[in-house]
Amino acid sequence: MQELLNKLNTQQRDAVKYTQGPLLVLAGAGSGKTRVITHKIAYLIKSLGIQAKHITAITFTNKAAKEMQERASKLVSGLNTRGLTICTFHALGLKIMREEAKNLGYKPTFSVLDSYDSGKIISDIMQTTDKALVRSMQSQISLWKNSFTSPELVKSQAKEEFDHFAARVYLQYQDTLKTYQAIDFDDLIKLPVELFKTDLAVLHKWQLKIRYLLVDEYQDTNVCQYQLIKLLAGSQGQFTAVGDDDQSIYAWRGADSENLRLLNQDYTNLNIIKLEQNYRSTTTILGAANQVIQNNPKLFEKKLWSDFGTGEPIRLISCPNDEAEADLVVRKIMLHQLNAGTKFSDYAVLYRSNFQARVLEQAFRNYKIPYTISGGKSFFDKAEIKDIMAYLRLTINEDDDSAFIRAITTPKRGIGETTLDKLSTYAARREISLFEALFEEGFASVCNPAQLENVLDFGRFINDIQARQKFEPAGELLSEILRAIKYEEYLYDSEEVKAAEKRYGNVLSFIEWMSKKGENDNKTLPELTQTVALITLLEGQSEEEVDSVKLSTLHAAKGLEYPYVFMISCEEGILPHQESIANGSIEEERRLMYVGITRAQYELTISYCEQRRKAGTLEARERSRFLAELGTKNVLDEAARRFEKITDKTELSNKFSLLKALINK
């Protein structure tokens, strides 16, 4: 263990070895926070003799959890790590929910609804098909849950007519979820917190299970998540929280940087260790980042530094418009790659909002440069996967009406809308689920006999799967479901051949994945179904390792690094965003600028437009106030059309020949 500790710097080593009480590690960008967490796990096991099953490390994404798991496993190789938990907040919540479902008034086979299904419920309650309005209500309910605000409290505080309406929607939404024996993403944290606050025996049980807690990206926690940490850690505060107040950029989804301040209040013996040495970027890049972020009020003072040398100056470029900006970025990447012999994956183009990707994509396609957009459509969000998941969700939770509707109508099985309307009306009158209703004599009396038999066949099929799913291998049972419902035939009947092949290939890949995961993790089909539901909620596309330029929002780029970074469209109204300017909340936008700058390892290019098209008209733009905050040291202010001059005619000819070949390959 001492050999491992010797590889850490002084501050990292202090953070690893401190276990006398609560610890806050202020880890600047690129300062080795994951290294600290994984080494601390190893230290707790190897040096302090804490059993792995009593250690839990929490982060925010499956990708981060997987990386942490792999690195920790290497450090404790050869030791008993059975029961070591490294997972997301919501995976921990799901684990607690599964074990404590009965105490919370749920069946163990509860459903975890994705955004589409919860949106459908809200749409029905609001009696609207306006997607923007539904999304807005979803977001508001999520914020209420994350701040631990109950429907009753919302109702009591309502003043305007719309506030009363929103409170009613929230209350009805929660009642509907309970009726369906379903929970949404936010409930995975909220419900365990409610249980721990009201049942001290259950809380004590989990405190004994989790003897030491490590929390990554602590600045991104919301009120509910902080409550969960506080309850599990207990009065002794046996935890290490790692975070950076300068990278708090998720207030819009409920993250509360005030949680950093609360640690000081709630734990008077809190120890604070700062990690300020950066292992990612040049001093030029760090200097610019420090210059920008110093304009924010500071909860904790820190200043990043690096041993990587000065490096290249930051290039600041003005462009005539967004199309010229996109064209410029692509050509600069091409020229740089030819000169430096780099890979496309060494480059990232970062922007404030998703809409900015459209013009970029067009430019990359024009020049035939491979690119990947961060946050693409999830594999588990594909229609064919959701079709199969509807069957699985229904088998573990008969009360899941949204899964019932999708499963019974996909593929079509001779059950018309009239029959489903009768079933829905009957179930509503009886206040029972659709699945329960289809077996009742009352429904049989109002249903056409031929239609009834089709409906009952479907119900009996689901019952058969239910009886076998806990005992039979997941892959085999899934394959049988596909054959029984004739899903392959359905795809080829409803799609072009190539599209059908692709979609069915995705289904087969899904079955293979479920089969392997069931075998490797020793999980039944119901457990795998809940796991997939959580993955769907947590992650976007599982991106393949391909040589392509990364296009990403600044939010999605957090935690990542690239040798060469382009930050585009740094204009007033975009970065900082117009809403933040209007309400005077510039600090988070400045932190977003800081995050973007610190993604770069060797070179950083920042651009903005002099004009931008809006509603068909070119409007003058003003460059972002953050650009003035960069300072002038090691910053080159270039014009858009001022390319690097090549004086040698032979070299010029060779370069353009290479460019032509690259474009036409």
Beta strand 305-306 with 277-278 is parallel
Three-state secondary structure readout of 302-323:
CCCEECCCCCCCEEEEEECCHH
Kindly state the helix (H) or strand (E) to which residue 641 belongs, with its residue range.
none
Is 34 an annotated catalytic residue? yes
Per-residue DSSP letter, 278 = E
Contact 430, 442 (CB under 8 A): yes
Residue tagged active-site, from 240, 247, 291, 598: 247
Evaluate the CA torsion angle 643, 648, 652, 654 in order and state its sign.
negative
Catalytic residue, chosen from 33, 386, 590, 625, is 33
Choosing from 34, 38, 601, 605, the catalytic residue is: 34
Q: Which two tokens stand for residue 625?
A: 């106030």
Whether the bond between 370 and the residue before it is cis, its omega within 30 degrees of 0, is: no
- Rounded to whole angstroms, the Cα distance separating 565 from 563 reads 7
Question: Omega of the bond prior to 576 within 30 degrees of 0, cis?
Answer: yes
Amino acid at 3: E
Residue located via tokens 């610890």: 23
Catalytic residue among 217, 220, 384, 571: 217
Query: Which residues contact residue 561 at a Cβ distance below 8 angstroms, ignoring those fewer than 6 apart?
Result: 30, 280, 599, 600, 601
Instruction: Decide: helix, strand or coil at residue 211.
Output: coil
Instruction: List the one residue out of 252, 129, 172 whose CA is nearest residue 164.
Output: 172
Nearest-angstrom CA–CA distance, 560 and 29: 10
Name the β-bridge partners of 24. 241, 272
Please tell me which residue in 184, 216, 256, 325 is annotated as part of the active site: 216
Q: What is the DSSP letter of 639?
A: E
Q: Which residues contact 595 (CB under 8 A, 6 or more apart)?
A: 29, 247, 249, 554, 557, 558
Query: Which of 352, 591, 599, 621 does the annotation list as catalytic?
Result: 599
Q: Active-site residue 599, yes or no?
A: yes
Alpha-carbon distance of 68 to 63, in angstroms, equals 9
> Is 71 designated active site?
no
At residue 359's C-alpha, the angle toward residues 357 and 361, to 5°, is 65
Q: How far apart are CA 241 and CA 257, in angstroms?
A: 13
For the four alpha carbons of 378, 381, 384 and 385, in that order, the dihedral sign comes to: positive
| Rounded CA separation 576/474 (Å) | 49
- Just list the catalytic residues: 33-34, 216-217, 247, 599
